[in-house]
Amino acid sequence: MDRTELDQALLQAHARVDKQALVSLYRQAGDAAEREGDINAACFFLTHAFVFALEIGSPDAECLNRRLVEKGRATLLSF
């Protein structure tokens, strides 16, 4: 999925209030930004994924938290 498609998918998921999709899509955006070497953007997107994961009690929250900790952007939480 290219950046334009990802942006559209994010907007649609927000409109549907589909938090599971938001976790996945923000993670994808974070992964893409990280591959491009833009750590600030990656952490921005991963933080959004993390927040939505926490909201829905997703097991993805733990992995997302670890990734943010590794980049110095969060404190390690216990799950």
Cα–Cα distance between 1 and 29 in angstroms, integer? 10
Q: Is residue 79 over pLDDT 90?
A: no
Q: Tell me what pLDDT residue 32 has.
A: 97
**8 Å CB contact between 62 and 79:** yes
Residues recorded for the chain? 79
What's the pLDDT score for residue 17?
98
Those residues with Cβ within 8 angstroms of residue 31's Cβ, 6 or more apart along the chain or in another chain: 42
pTM: predicted TM-score of the whole model, two decimal places: 0.94
| Domain boundaries along the sequence of the chain | 3-70
CA atoms of 8 and 40, how far apart (whole Å): 21
Q: Which of 65, 40, 30, 29 is nearest to 50 (CA)?
A: 65
pLDDT in tens, 21-72: 999 999 999 999 999 999 999 999 999 999 999 999 999 999 999 999 999 9
Residue 15's pLDDT is: 98
